[in-house]
Chains A and B, each alone.
Chain A
Amino acid sequence: MAPGTLSNYLKSGAIWAFIVLELAFFSIAGEYFSLSDKAFMDFDNMLLLFKQSAPIGIIAMGMTIIMVNGNIDLSVGATYALCAIVLLDSMTWPIFAGLGDAVIPISWALALLTGVLLGALNGLIVWKTGVDAFIVTLGSMLGYRGLVFMYNGEQPTSHLNWTLVDFAEAQFLGLHTATWFLLAVTVAIWFLMNRTVHGRNAYAIGDNRSAAVNAGIRVGPHMMINFMIIGFLAALSAVVFYSESGSVNPNDGELYELWIITAVVLGGTKLTGGSGSIVSTFGGVLAIQLLRKGLAHIGADTSTVNLVIGLILIAVLFLDRQLNLKGKEELRV
């Protein structure tokens, strides 16, 4: 066995072990503390878990690419809200009035296009100005949120289309529409990261940027494409979620970026770039949703969820550092 293989297995398996631990804990604890007499490991409950993971999960896949590439995107929550508004509002525009249900694909396309454009704007600024992605997206997080509020003030934007609701609530092979979207996005991004030149270049750039430049990789376009992907996914997440709910508040999606980054970091992706896996991010998303559901199941309120997630995040960081310490000692100057 090559050196380090064991610790690699340990690390990639850790998130799934954590999920199993959570399932076991909440199943047992649920017997004593739960207010309902339904078991936590109930089949319907687990199906719901996947569905509820979808809004965060779809964006988390994009965040993984961004972070593997060595950047970060804080503006996804605002992008999500803005795309949701475009989706719902465009269905009521007078020019589409005579279309009936044919307006749905147009509104979807408009929302997705908005997401791609907002992402492209972030990417272009990062590329052309050389300002750190953290600052650029911190700024656009404020800016995009400002646009959301300017659109309709503090009023919610609502439009319920029953065809859409039926579509969003449909179940195919037992899984909800949102779950299918999450799975499709996971598979697509996994393929992108592992089987395409773009994905491999993203790893190379995140791992060692100057080496990647010397190897002839054009860093800028790759970064911009990644920002467009996460913008698209933020829009897709909004499309999936708001097709069902039909109403968006101007502060929807706030703190999403924190939840998403937590999920991605739980999945083992490094903030410094160059390392991370889509499958583990999927695990991270499930782990967080499981924690929220599980704590609610045993009667804890949201305050406990916040407390526990914060502490787990720090604990994971600490454990990760301890695991990595051995390999790095020899390199330290």
Chain B
Amino acid sequence: MGALSKFEIGGVLARQGILIAFVLFMIAFTIANQRFLDPDNILGVIRSSAILGVMALGVTFVVISGNLDLSVGSMMSFSTIVVLDLHDKIGPALAIPAMFIMTLALGALIGFLVGYLKLNSLIVTLGMLSAIHGLTLTYSGGKNMDIADKAGTWFSVFGQGSILGIPVPILIFALLAAVLGTMLAKTPFGRKVYAVGGNGVAATFSGIRRARVVFMCYLLSSFCVATAGLIQASRSLGSQNTVGQGLELEVLAAVILGGASLMGGSGTIFKTVIGVLILGFIQNGLLLVGLQFYAQYVVTWIIIILAVWLDIAAKRGRLWSPIA
């Protein structure tokens, strides 16, 4: 009994490790600095994590289906630049749907290449990272985009507004997380995503159209990217061409931190949200404790590796890898 319960405690620790680590971090930061649990601070952190978070929701689908998406950062720059440019040309009411259509077209292209042509997703999205960056620069001519009339546009509501005291980016993030979480957990499509990522051959033999599922995942991911671009554009009302550069890896870090396996077949929206929040709160907490900004990268590095290590250690039942 003693040995068994010890093993069970280890298993629970490893399986829920990320939640436990999250709670421990929150407690430690709260003790270190009283302002950490201040409602304003908490809302501020979630608000600034919302852009990363919205993108992470889409990437969760892609990762569960057994693929990768490294193009989201570059694609987010694209949608931000496009919506800002079109805002002054055709007005916000038309600019937003136009931007969504263009971004979805890029997502459909990636989905076609990875899903139907069955090309390696890492290389395809790596190529698209570069290609979309080029596309953005060509579109903007390399110049920063700015909205002419910053004070008089209702466009700023998505990034700067708040409803009942809660900032709109948080509401968008929460709404999308609820919808996509339900879709992943409760609908036939969601179960197909797990099936395709868990065992593609078995999924195909049981009548699931794998190509279509993968295609839909990339389409969803690009929808999330467009939403993130909208928030980003609306929040700053002006942007550089490289606004999303490097975000793809932070997004992936959040998804992995949430426990989704890069091999596909596992992960949930809820855990991804936790992963996003952990990244956000660690960043904030380290700053409040007085560490310099860049220390968060080092801490993130350690946390990612520990999180994944504990996760697979729990699955294989031993801490050290069996590699000779």
Q: Which residues of A contact B (CB under 8 A)?
A: 74, 125, 127-132, 134-136, 138-147, 149-150, 153, 213, 218-220, 223, 254, 258, 261-262, 265, 271, 301-314, 317-318, 321, 333
* A-facing residues in B224-273 (Cβ within 8 Å): 246, 249-250, 252-253, 256, 262
Q: Given the complex, which residues of B lie within 8 Å of A138, measured CB to CB?
A: 249, 252-253, 256, 304
- Would you call B305 and A129 a contact (CB within 8 A)? yes
The contact of B126 among A127, A143, A144, A313, by CB within 8 Å, is A313
Q: Which residues of B contact A (CB under 8 A)?
A: 113, 117-120, 122-124, 126-138, 142, 201, 246, 249-250, 252-253, 256, 262, 292-298, 300-302, 304-305, 308-309, 312-313, 316, 320-324
Q: Given the complex, which residues of B lie within 8 Å of A219, measured CB to CB?
A: 323-324
Contact count A vs B, C-beta below 8 Å:
161
Alpha-carbon distance between A132 and B312 when the two chains are bound, in angstroms: 10
- Would you call B129 and A146 a contact (CB within 8 A)? no
- Would you call B305 and A258 a contact (CB within 8 A)? no
- Would you call B128 and A146 a contact (CB within 8 A)? no
Across the A-B interface, the 9 shortest Cβ-Cβ residue pairs: A130-B321, A146-B297, A310-B131, A143-B301, A307-B134, A303-B137, A306-B134, A310-B130, A313-B127
- Would you call A314 and B262 a contact (CB within 8 A)? no
Q: Given the complex, which residues of B lie within 8 Å of A265, measured CB to CB?
A: 123
What are 14 inter-chain pairs, A to B, with CB distance below 8 A? A131-B312, A135-B262, A138-B252, A138-B304, A142-B300, A142-B301, A144-B301, A146-B297, A303-B136, A306-B134, A307-B135, A310-B127, A312-B127, A314-B123
The contact of B138 among A127, A134, A304, by CB within 8 Å, is A304
Q: Given the complex, which residues of A lie within 8 Å of B253, measured CB to CB?
A: 138-139, 142
A32 CB, nearest partner CB in chain B, Å? 21
Among the interface residues B134, B252, B253, which one has the most CB atoms of the partner chain A within 10 A?
A: B134
B78 CB, nearest partner CB in chain A, Å? 12
B303 CB, nearest partner CB in chain A, Å? 8
Alpha-carbon distance between A218 and B255 when the two chains are bound, in angstroms: 32
The contact of A333 among B131, B201, B297, B309, by CB within 8 Å, is B201
- Would you call A271 and B304 a contact (CB within 8 A)? no
- Would you call B123 and A310 a contact (CB within 8 A)? no
Alpha-carbon distance between A312 and B123 when the two chains are bound, in angstroms: 11
Q: Given the complex, which residues of B lie within 8 Å of A135, measured CB to CB?
A: 256, 262, 304-305, 308
Alpha-carbon distance between A149 and B293 when the two chains are bound, in angstroms: 9
Alpha-carbon distance between A127 and B324 when the two chains are bound, in angstroms: 8
Q: Given the complex, which residues of B lie within 8 Å of A254, measured CB to CB?
A: 246
- Would you call B134 and A271 a contact (CB within 8 A)? no
B82 CB, nearest partner CB in chain A, Å? 15
The contact of B128 among A136, A142, A314, by CB within 8 Å, is A314
Q: Given the complex, which residues of A lie within 8 Å of B117, measured CB to CB?
A: 318, 321
- Would you call A139 and B300 a contact (CB within 8 A)? yes
- Would you call B321 and A128 a contact (CB within 8 A)? yes
Q: Given the complex, which residues of A lie within 8 Å of B321, measured CB to CB?
A: 127-130
- Would you call A127 and B323 a contact (CB within 8 A)? yes
Q: Given the complex, which residues of B lie within 8 Å of A302, measured CB to CB?
A: 134, 137
